[in-house]
Amino acid sequence: MLEKLDFIEDKYKELAMMCADPAVIADQANWQKYAKEMGEMEPIVKKYKEYKEVLQSVQDAKDILGESGLDEEMKELAKMELSEGEEKTEQLEEELKILLLPKDPNDDRNVILEIRAGTGGDEAALFGADLLRMYTMYAESKGWKVEVMDMNDTGIGGIKEAEVLIKGKGAYSRLKYESGIHRVQRVPETEASGRIHTSAATVAVLPEVDDVEVDLDPNDVRVDVYRASGNGGQCVNTTDSAVRLTHIPTGLVVTCQDEKSQIKNKEKAFKVLKSRLYDKMVQEQNEKIASERRSMVGSGDRSGRIRTYNFPQGRVSEHRTGMTLYKLDSFMNGNLDEIIDGLITQDQAEKMKSFGEEE
């Protein structure tokens, strides 16, 4: 680990010199590339500097304790410094191991979030709307922007399916753990007898991708236009503004009718299609990894139930980590960090275990 840290530190210094070179500054494309590399290395370099300072303080304390004729007060101070330094060293070593873990290349990307009502009829659709509101509030708390790309509502406040684009640095790094089946247990507003029903909605989180990352042949896409339905303003039912894309090789279908402009809907639909194709490619690559080397957290597996929202008991249970919170109201208002932090910690622990086995 120390050899790797020394290499990163040397590379960081080299990049700093290059970024200060007038010739590099004049070439903005290269300067931005080097500055980005420096930015990614900076947290590691800072932590490594702190680690070396603590190691030096530990050595200094050991040297003092090795001196002869040391009075008791100085000896106690040195012992205290040694103990604190050794404890701090272990903490920093763990933090450095986490910083050295291979980074998900998609972590800084924007997110395309898809919500679909599952089993449970109208109640599932209402829960889907609740999830959309929850994620919108969470995004707003992070300073991210939310843009609706497509929505199919039920007319009674629920949604059969919705696609939104969430723009913000690090959006994917935190929302990627939300993919899966979300189960709700509550008394539906439409249920006269007051019985608790169980219904579900599925969430898919896709990283927004650049054109260069997906080889999409326009000849492989069938484009259909039709009149939009639902709420959308005066033009909604009078012009063929809605767009449906069908990717013939894979059978993937994307629709978009949120904008009044057919061109804008087509642009948004292609953005979703590219992200779905990229996600399909990543999922296929993941399938090639041996199952015992994969954890549920971070694998992007959408086939399993990941969380239960129990309204009568006011609890939310995260099945992957075993965490249960009895503050469902707060959670539904977008306060997701406690559970997401737990998922990130578990994901890091699994990666560190795999990383150690590979070494």
Read off the amino acid at residue 182: H
Who's near 159: CB < 8 A, 6+ residues apart? 115, 117, 125, 128, 129, 132, 151, 152, 153
The closest alpha carbon to 49, from 6, 101, 3, belongs to 6
Q: pLDDT by residue (tens digit) across 14-63?
A: 999 999 989 888 988 889 888 888 888 888 899 999 999 999 999 988 88
Return the minimum-mean-pLDDT range out of 79-88, 162-171, 204-213.
204-213
Residue 192 has pLDDT above 70, yes or no: no
Give, in order, the Cα–Cα distances in Å from 19 to each of 30, 31, 35, 37, 121: 9, 6, 7, 11, 58
Q: What is the spatial order of strands in the sheet that 180-186 belongs to? A: 145-153, 159-167, 111-117, 197-207, 180-186, 305-310, 315-318, 323-325
State the pLDDT confidence band at 131, using cuts at 50, 70 and 90.
Answer: very high
Segment 291-325, tens digit of pLDDT: 433 443 444 444 568 999 999 999 999 999 999 99
Residue 289 clears pLDDT 80, i.e. is over it: no
* Alpha-carbon gap, residue 328 to 310, rounded angstroms: 8
Residue 211 — very low, low, confident or very high, per pLDDT cuts 50/70/90?
low
The percentage of residues in the chain with a pLDDT greater than 90, rounded to a whole number, is 34
The tokens describing 352, both together, are: 């560190």
Among 30-34, 67-71, 126-130, the range scoring the smallest mean pLDDT is 67-71
What is the DSSP secondary structure assignment for residue 309, as one 8-state letter?
E
All structural domains of the chain, each given as residue ranges with its CATH number in brackets, are 2-100 (1.20.58), 111-212+297-353 (3.30.70.1660), 215-285 (3.30.160.20)
231-250 pLDDT, tens digit each: 444 444 456 678 888 888 88
Round the average pLDDT of the chain to a whole number and report it.
83
Count the residues in the chain: 359
Give the pLDDT band (50/70/90) at residue 348: confident
Checking if the pLDDT of 114 tops 80, the result is: yes
